[in-house]
Every structure is written in C-alpha cells, then in structure tokens.
Amino acid sequence: MKQRLRVCVLGSTGSIGANTLDVIARHPERFEAVALTAHSRADELFQQCLRHRPRWACLPDPAAALDLQRRLREAGLSTEVLQGPAALEQLAAHPEVDAVMAAIVGAAGLSPCLAAARAGKRLMLANKEALVVGGAFFMRAVQAGGATLLPVDSEHSAIFQCLPEARARWPEVIDHLVLTASGGPFRQRDPDSLHAVTPDEACAHPNWIMGRKISVDSASMMNKGLELIEARWLFDLPPERLKVLIHPQSIVHSMVVCRDQSVLAQLGTPDMRVPIAYALSFPERIESGAAPLNLLDFAALQFEAPDLRRFPALALAWQALRGPEGSTAVLNAANEVAVASFLAGSLRFTGISELVARCLEQVLPAADEVGSVAGLLELDARTRAKAQELLGKP
C-alpha cells in the first residue's frame, strides 16, 4: 500500500491553510495533516486539531501553547503542542514530515521555508514574500537541500501546469511569461479618490476570498509586483521576459508564450483548492472540490494593459526587480509595514506606495546582507525600522 503523504501546514488557520486542510480531508487515503501551526487564532487551531488529529500543533506564545495543550489533553488528543519560531523550523524539517505547505503570510515565513528547503522536503509555496526576500539565496537552499519546490500561487501554478515536467526543458520552451492580474477592487475607480478608500473596500476583492494582507496587495497591485519577482526565481527568467496583463474575470490564471509563439494557458474557476491540490498530488491530478468552469457564464474574457500611474506599487516592484540584489527584500519589508499601517487605519491607501518608494530610495542593501539568512533578516529589520521612522514623519 502507498504511504500517505505527511503534510505540515505552516499557517493552517489562514485562507490557504484552511483550503489545504479541505483538500487533505477529501483524500484521507493519500494525505495526513501531521503538523498544524498558527499565530494568533488559537481557538481555530484547536478546532482544526479536533478535526485533523495532527501529531504536532504550534503557537508562538508560550501561555497560549500551554493552554492549547491542556484543552487538547482534555479532549482526549495526544497532539503535542510546540511553541516559538524555532519550533516552526523544527517541524518544517522534521524527518516524519514529507511535505510542507508554506502558508504563513509575510517574511515571517522565510526561516521555516528555508528549513524545509534544506531538509529536502516537497515545499509547496504560497508564501510568496519568503521568495521575494530570499531570492537567489532561497533558490540555492532549494537546490542544495534537493527539495522539490512547487508553486501554489495561482499564476505560478498555472504556468507550472503549462510547462513540461522536466525542468531542464523549460528554457527551450519559454519565450516569455504573462502573469494575469484582476486589477483588484480599484481597477476602475477614480484615481483621485484612492486616498480615501477604507481597509474594507481594499479587501473586497472582486474574485478571490483571501487574507487581508494579500487582499490589500491585490488592490494596490503590489501583489502582482511580488508575483513578478516570484516568477523571476521560480522560472529563472530575467525581468524582460515577464509581462503583466489585467484580466478582470480571473479565469485565465496565467500564460506561457512559447518560442514558436504558441500560447499555453491554464483556466479554471477562481478557487485556490485547484493549485493546492496540484501541489499536493503532482505529477498526478486529484479532485479538488472546485466548481467546474462554464465558459458560457462569461459573455467575454477581457484583457488590458496595467496603468502604472494608477498602480505605482507595480512600477516599484519592477524597479526593485531590476535593482541591486536585496532591493526586493526592501520592497517587501516596506510594503508589509505600510499595509499593516493601512489596515490599522493609520496610513492612507495611497501612502502605501509612497512609503515603499521612500524606503527603496533610503535603504541600500549591503552586499554581505544577501548571502545569509541572518543578513536577509537584518536587511528586513533595517527596512522596517526605516519605514516606521518615516511613518512617524509626515
């Protein structure tokens, strides 16, 4: 009998985490959720433990971890609760874990992703910020550890699904890649009114239900900027072979333009369980729970060029992608601070790209910061400190 794939879900209480558990639960004969990790939602993690009965659960706060351990024991579960950031790395690299779903949001996911990469796991990457920060260093860790890096982000999964299974053949196939973007909730909004939009308006994505941070990124199109950087590393392509096209229906998830000008695309209803199921089952395909796509529901599929004046965050991501190594880590850290500040009600929406632009001007990555995880985390921390300082100054 085939062994079940033992999956560690980093960020199980989030949108990707919950969708991953949904797919896992549809295939109990193939997959087992052996480790679940959360950050603040301890009650949700408790409920997930009752349903999936993992061997390990993890929370950062010692008191919350102790409380969860007590509740699980009272419920008759033998789940062991670990605590603290080092525990995330320990679980991601554990010999009794086969696959890691990287679904933590932000640069906080970098160290556990690297641990999974170095331990040679099947690394299913939703946490795009980890790759945006880690860049070449991240990819070297994947190679050195012999890990299998599988994209979960819908665009990158779409591209991956269009490419031959043998990676060595990718260069002979690809002319360039086209990442599709919905344009978010403000695609047609008067740019002069963007300074006054609220966090709830920014999080009202037209097609996808996602966590609040990525929803704001979609509204500013920084999400597409992060995805360009992600594509640069996942598919080993220079910036000039990457393009972005707005496609408001989010049905065509991205495209590969081949050397012979044949265009390959992956289509489907906007449901993250499709790329999650593919990352879990690759190279096979399994039922995902997604609704079938009925093209007759769509009068038309539209495509348009992104307006970089309306979406300055996308222009900043292009700038960082073409900039010195480490610039993308600066872009990401500044954006994380800015988005948190916007969601907390203390920064205008238009202030997000303004803050990122100022950080890119003022934080210059040092050569020795991009060659180690300590250096990258230092650059990340330095940028956050600068962003906080700039937020304090109008």
Ligand X SMILES: NC(=O)C1=CN([C@@H]2O[C@H](COP(=O)(O)OP(=O)(O)OC[C@H]3O[C@@H](n4cnc5c(N)ncnc54)[C@H](OP(=O)(O)O)[C@@H]3O)[C@@H](O)[C@H]2O)C=CC1
As annotated, the binding site for NADPH includes 13-16, 127, 129, 211
Among 153, 217, 230, 336, binds Mn ion (CB under 5 A): 153
Residues touching ligand X, count (CB under 6 A): 26
Report the relative pairing of strands 263-267 and 252-258 from DSSP bridges: antiparallel
Q: Which residues of 299-335 are buried (b: 16+ CB within 10 A; e: fewer)?
A: eeeeeeebeeebbbbbbbbbbbbebeebbbbbbbbbb
Among 265, 272, 333, 338, binds ligand X (CB under 6 A): 272
CA angle at 35 for the pair 34 and 37, rounded to the nearest 5°: 160
Residue 133 engages ligand X in binding (rule: CB under 6 A): no
Q: Summarize as ranges the residues that interact with ligand DXP (CB under 6 A).
A: 153-155, 181-182, 184, 208, 218, 223-224, 272
Residue 17 engages ligand X in binding (rule: CB under 6 A): yes
Question: Could you tell me the smallest distance in angstroms from the CB atom of residue 317 to ligand X?
Answer: 14
Residue nearest to ligand X (CB): 14
The answer to whether 123 touches 148, Cβ cutoff 8 Å, is: yes
- Token pair, residue 162, equals 């269009």
Which does residue 181 bind out of Mn ion, ligand X, ligand DXP, none, counting CB within 5 to 8 angstroms by kind? ligand DXP
**Separation between Cα atoms, residue 300 and residue 64, nearest integer Å:** 50
Residue 103 engages ligand X in binding (rule: CB under 6 A): yes
Nearer Cβ to Mn ion, position 55 or 205?
205
List the one residue out of 346, 344, 379 whose CA is nearest residue 360: 379
Which does residue 328 bind out of ligand DXP, ligand X, Mn ion, none, counting CB within 5 to 8 angstroms by kind? none
| Binding map of ligand X across residues 208-227, x = CB under 6 A, - = no contact | x-xx-xx-------------
Instruction: Point out the annotated binding site.
Output: 13-16, 127-129, 153-155, 182, 205, 211, 218, 223-224, 227
Residues 6+ apart with CB under 8 A from 346: 391
Question: Could you tell me the smallest distance in angstroms from the CB atom of residue 261 to ligand X?
Answer: 29
Residue 230 engages ligand X in binding (rule: CB under 6 A): no
Question: Could you tell me the smallest distance in angstroms from the CB atom of residue 155 to ligand DXP?
Answer: 6
Question: Could you tell me the smallest distance in angstroms from the CB atom of residue 337 to ligand X?
Answer: 13
Question: Could you tell me the smallest distance in angstroms from the CB atom of residue 267 to Mn ion?
Answer: 15
Kindly state the helix (H) or strand (E) to which residue 160 belongs, with its residue range: helix 154-162
List the one residue out of 256, 353, 260, 245 whose CA is nearest residue 303: 245
List the one residue out of 112, 118, 167 whose CA is nearest residue 143: 118
List the one residue out of 38, 36, 33 whose CA is nearest residue 7: 33
**What Å distances lie between residue 177 and 138, 217, 226, 265, CA to CA?**
21, 21, 15, 10
Count the alpha carbons within 13 Å of 376 in the hemisphere toward its beta carbon. 26
Instruction: Point out the annotated binding site for 1-deoxy-D-xylulose 5-phosphate.
Output: 128, 154-155, 182, 205, 218, 223-224, 227
**Separation between Cα atoms, residue 113 and residue 29, nearest integer Å:** 26
Residue 120 engages ligand X in binding (rule: CB under 6 A): no
Among 23, 33, 35, 38, binds ligand X (CB under 6 A): 38
Please report, as ranges, the residues that interact with ligand X according to CB under 6 A.
11-17, 38-41, 103-105, 108, 126-129, 153, 208, 210-211, 213-214, 272
Please report, as ranges, the residues that interact with Mn ion according to CB under 5 A.
153-155
